[in-house]
Chains A and B, each alone.
Chain A
Amino acid sequence: MTVTIRTLTRRSSGRESVRATEVDKTQLVIGRATDCDINLPDLLVALRHARLIVSSTSFVVEAEGDNEFKFNGRVVRRAQAQFGEAAALQFGPYRLTFVAPMGRLTIDVERIEQARTEIPDPDKTFSLRGTWLSKRTTSYVFATLVAVLFLAFPIFTYATHSTQSPISSGRISLQKVKAGEMWSSGKLAGPHQRLARDCTSCHQDAFVSVRDQACLQCHDTIKHHADATRLAKADTPRTPFGSGLRLVAETFDKPAGRCADCHMEHNGSEGVSPTSQASCTSCHDGMSKRLPDAKVIDASDFGRNHPDFHPTIVETPDADAPKFTRVSLTDLDKARKAREQLASQTPQRSCAGFAVGQPNFRGIVHDGGDLPAEARVGDNSGLVFPHALHLDEKGCVAALAQQVTRQAAATTGLSKGPNYGKKLVCEDCHTRDERNVGYKPVEMEKNCSACHSLVFNTGAGGLRTLRHGYTSEVIAALLDFYQARVVSDATRPAMAPEARRRPGEATVQRAVAARETAFANAGGRASNRVQAIFSEGGACYGCHVITPPATPGGIDYRVQPVTLRDSFLPHGVFDHGAHEPGELTCDDCHNASTSRTSADVLMPHVQTCQSCHGGEHATALVQSSCVMCHGFHSTDPAAPVMKPVTTARRQQGATGSMGGASR
């Protein structure tokens, strides 16, 4: 049988060329080897891939070994076809089409798949652009993620934030998802921490700086330091740089003088209560130039530039509306020296003489008409109290104190009664307050009455005591007592009208006469008692300035009101407790032992403080910024001063009382 093998080659130009060979065999070899009858030069074809066996009616293709080929699209190892049937076989890239009319076989050989010689895209091959990595996609994804999570989401929670408690509201809230904390620039201070998740409690409007109204929602009782316009004037920037900063701040809606100007949040415990000297000196350094009418003296640093103290003293004592004034300690000291000069000219006589014979400047404003003007400057408390007398170790007060101690010990035991040592010391009369910072106001009943007894009678029926502070009651009580006593005297047996006296009736008549005289004189005698108590040598006169009766011989005595200050420096706090650990004694600061009158203000000069305390940046001394002593939120002397940070903890809940006026 003659088999015609037609090899078709397609040129790139599209032209087809056919090369035909004829083989006269019944068995043909198909393979890559050059000696094959049908040579298929491709590595996918085996050297001897298959055999073709041709008979008269059919032809069979059998693969050699493990080889396979495709027959009419199926992978087979053997294929058989009848003449007259169409058959297409594929070996690797070659298609063999069997055209077999009866008695004649033609095989068309055509390469249908060209060898792959394409060159990969160099850019994709060499650059990472050929991998899954993408800068663009990841950029979009990252940026979107961040923008959604950290920008859109917090704004959404802000916009949908309900005014009711975030804890109770069921929907997405700042509380639950902490969107607010995402934006928080730092921890809040102390009690503000509970607001941490509720940004709107302070940041009430978007893009509007925190206003004072937000602060005043809670801090509604806070006192203002000064009028806002005056504050702004005092805080006028002094340098072009400062003015520039102010301008920028105002341009960006941060007006000066807001609470938040000083109280800076989101810095943890720092900042919310400003402690730096600069917070104060931004106004008070050279403030007199900017606010000429300000009563406060300039200060810039406690160690280098702080005025001497100007104690607030009583100008006019009054139970209800005492008047105060501020006087420089220098003037006060001058007056004290003048008084001491006058006192030294008069020889001291006795215990009583101290108070009576010597000039003791009783009520120097009212009674000191004969004193020179410079000696009259002093605290006009209305009380006569010579510290020197009470602290004198050899004087009558010391002796009395010892006696009181002995008596008290005899009756109530040493542990209960007053226990004065050889002489009185400050603590015998002055008691530290609960906060261990200052001293309680001195009270007659608690602090003086152990010696200054107001008992006026110890007769039958118990002690009779005058009620301190109530002048009219005192007068009434004395009158009542002494008048009543005449009656009781009259009922004594010696004076009784029915007493038997047979022999010599004269006695009875005398007694009757005496009784009548006693009744007649009762009013006068009682008045005498009242006069005695309010006059020189009397119980009230010793300590009080007495306004004598309007008419001579009358008894409408009045006691000048007493106003005792518990602080001479109401704008500052001196922590006495904090000064105990050292070797300091009261006398180191308060020169009390030579003070003859309560007009003396026993305050130390600022230099005394400066011997230990320097400014905020002091190196050798205790670093002391303004707030160690001064508060900010009060200028009203009758109002509690906002306590400085250093003692705030101890003072929590307590309010300092001012002007402890006596009744």
Chain B
Amino acid sequence: MARAGTHVERRRDAKHESFLRHRDYFYLKVALVLCGAFVGVYLFTHPQPRHNGGTWLGYTLGTISALLIVWLTMLGLRKRAITPGAWSLKGWTSAHIYLGLSLIVLATLHTGFQFGWNVHTLAYALMMFVIGSGLFGIYFYATIPSLMSDNRAEKSNLQMLEEIAALDSDLRTAAQPLNEANARLVQNAIDNTKIGGGVLTRLRTTHPRCATARALDELKAVAKAQPRNLGGDGLAQVNSLLDRKMVLLDRARRHIRYRALLELWLYVHVPVTFALLAALVAHIVSVFFMW
């Protein structure tokens, strides 16, 4: 009982506190203090000949930023091990976001606003790109999960697909009495209705080439054109099955779109992070190489 109790408690916590609001914006405060302190030092020191990456402040900011980047990358490893508490994955994510955002200030101060067509600015640009993609991630992770939860109506991914498969099976039986053309439509709807698809298809809200939609449209038209008394050929049943399949398909596809939005930024965020790590190594090596 006691174990069940704590479990419930934790669930409630998870529901009420987002990764942004974690520990009453603790890491936001840390990031703000960090940025504020370094902006202050930047403004009140006057290194010669000017602020750049090569002053004591520049090297300090550079070291902090580089270590931060490496630590931020560690989220990729950390997320595979879920632990509770202050260093919970949520806490880690919250720190990842706010300390990651603080890099905008820290790394920019590190540059001393000196930019050029070189490996140093490349590393900076890649970092800003990664942060930019991360901002998309924050937005999607803050808005989409609740939409997803509403959409899936407590159904698991497998359940959604099983329901559709079951309807296909029903359709196959129900469509037996249909004439050739209609039966072909139904067969097509069974065989060629794509769930998922390419990247762009997943992001689309409409699927005009959906075989099920087409079958439903055409068979509805057929049913409309038929005299009402000829109800015994199973068309009505097929249409009702197709209707239900369409609803399930829409839900599954919406789910897929949400998942795509939730994941797509990571396909930019992660590879560019690796490019950034390589550029960061090149940046640091080049500095010490040409010491």
Residues of A that sit less than 8 Å from B by CB: 32-34, 41-44, 46-47, 65, 67, 115-120, 122-128, 130-135, 138-147, 150-151, 154-155, 158, 181-187, 199, 203, 206-210, 245, 248, 252-254, 264, 266-267, 270-271, 274, 276, 278-279
> When A122-B161, A271-B49 are in contact, do A181 and B117 touch as well, CB less than 8 Å?
yes
Please provide the chain B residues from 270 to 284 with a CB less than 8 Å away from any CB of chain A in the complex: 270-275, 277-279, 281-282
Which residue of chain B is the closest to A151 with respect to CB atoms? B282
> When A132-B199, A135-B267, A147-B278 are in contact, do A123 and B49 touch as well, CB less than 8 Å?
no
Is B278 within 8 A of A123, CB to CB? no
Interface of A is mostly: loop
In the complex the two chains form, what is the Cα distance from A226 to B129 in whole Å? 50
Is B278 within 8 A of A267, CB to CB? no
Which residue of chain B is the closest to A262 with respect to CB atoms? B48
Is B168 within 8 A of A117, CB to CB? yes
In the complex the two chains form, what is the Cα distance from A498 to B234 in whole Å? 173
Which residue of chain A is the closest to B183 with respect to CB atoms? A43
Sample (5) of A-B pairs whose CB atoms are under 8 Å apart: A118-B165, A123-B157, A186-B116, A264-B54, A270-B49
Q: Assuming A151-B282, A274-B48, what are 6 further A-B pairs, CB within 8 angstroms?
A: A43-B186, A46-B183, A115-B169, A116-B190, A143-B275, A182-B118
Count of interface residues, chain B, beta-carbon cutoff 8 Å: 70
Question: Counting chain B CB atoms within 10 Å of each CB, which of A44, A117, A123, A135 scores highest?
Answer: A135
Stretch in B11-19, B96-104, B135-143, B252-260 with 4+ CB within 8 Å of A: B252-260
> When A142-B271, A151-B285, A274-B48 are in contact, do A125 and B278 touch as well, CB less than 8 Å?
no
Question: Counting chain A CB atoms within 10 Å of each CB, which of B176, B177, B180 scores highest?
Answer: B180
Is B259 within 8 A of A127, CB to CB? yes
In the complex the two chains form, what is the Cα distance from A158 to B116 in whole Å? 21
Minimum C-beta distance from A138 to chain B (A): 4
Which residue of chain B is the closest to A267 with respect to CB atoms? B49
| Residues on B with beta carbons closer than 8 Å to the beta carbon of A274 | 48-49
| Residues on B with beta carbons closer than 8 Å to the beta carbon of A125 | 157, 161, 195-196, 252, 256
In the complex the two chains form, what is the Cα distance from A119 to B274 in whole Å? 36
Which residue of chain B is the closest to A45 with respect to CB atoms? B183
Please provide the chain B residues from 130 to 184 with a CB less than 8 Å away from any CB of chain A in the complex: 156-158, 160-162, 165, 168-169, 172, 175-180, 183-184
| Residues on B with beta carbons closer than 8 Å to the beta carbon of A147 | 278, 281-282
Contact of B157 among A44, A126, A133 (CB under 8 A): A126
Q: Is B187 an interface residue (CB 8 A)?
A: yes
Minimum C-beta distance from A423 to chain B (A): 50
Is B278 within 8 A of A151, CB to CB? yes
| Residues on B with beta carbons closer than 8 Å to the beta carbon of A145 | 275, 278
Q: Is B225 an interface residue (CB 8 A)?
A: no
Q: Is B206 an interface residue (CB 8 A)?
A: no
In the complex the two chains form, what is the Cα distance from A203 to B169 in whole Å? 75
Minimum C-beta distance from B256 to chain A (A): 5
Q: Is B237 an interface residue (CB 8 A)?
A: no
In the complex the two chains form, what is the Cα distance from A115 to B172 in whole Å? 8
Q: Is B286 an interface residue (CB 8 A)?
A: yes
Which residue of chain B is the closest to A115 with respect to CB atoms? B172
Q: Is B264 an interface residue (CB 8 A)?
A: yes
Which residue of chain A is the closest to B266 with respect to CB atoms? A135
